[in-house]
Amino acid sequence: MEMPISVMITLFIALAVGGIILGLANRWIVFNVPCFGPQCQTEDVGERLKYQTTITSSQIATYMKLCRELVSEKPRLDNYICYAITLENPIAVNPAEIASELSKDANWYSIDSGTTRSISIFWNYAKGIVEVRI
């Protein structure tokens, strides 16, 4: 079965264009996903992932303030996780205690309550606030 040369050239061009599109799409996807490996020299992930025995309300408030400063220095257009804290022992998170540390800045935070071993402090872009999730 013979194919005319014009069909072969058309198929070759389509294959080349498809390869270029896939190559660019792969490059775009790779460079736009969050990077948490050693190849990410610009991301200070080690500073933001914490493993502690316990944590106090004032420490949580401090992390929230640092998150707010971090986002103000480099604006984020997504829900950016500032700190992920894992605890050895579960603690009861009391929003009132944390709020007392942040009383003058009450309009820029939201805090969950409950008992947990894992705390996430992140910037909620849509609401423009720092949130503490357990």
pLDDT of 43 reads: 46
pLDDT in tens, the chain (134 residues): 577 888 889 998 998 888 777 766 655 554 444 554 444 444 455 567 778 888 888 899 999 988 888 888 877 767 888 888 888 889 999 888 888 888 777 678 888 888 988 999 988 888 888 899 98
Between the two ends of the chain, the Cα-to-Cα distance in Å is: 66
Return the bridge partners of 121, or none.
83, 132
Give pTM, 2 decimals.
Answer: 0.63
What is residue 14's predicted lDDT score, i.e. its pLDDT?
92
If we measure between CA atoms, which residue out of 68, 57, 55 comes closest to residue 105? 68
CA–CA dist 98, 134 (Å, integer): 14
- DSSP-based three-state secondary structure for 8: helix
Residue in this structure with the two tokens 């040369």, named with its chain if needed: 5
DSSP secondary structure of 15-75: HHHHHHHHHHHHHHHHHHS---STT-SS--HHHHEEEES---HHHHHHHHHHHHHHHHHS-
Which helix (H) or strand (E) segment is 81 a member of?
A: strand 80-93
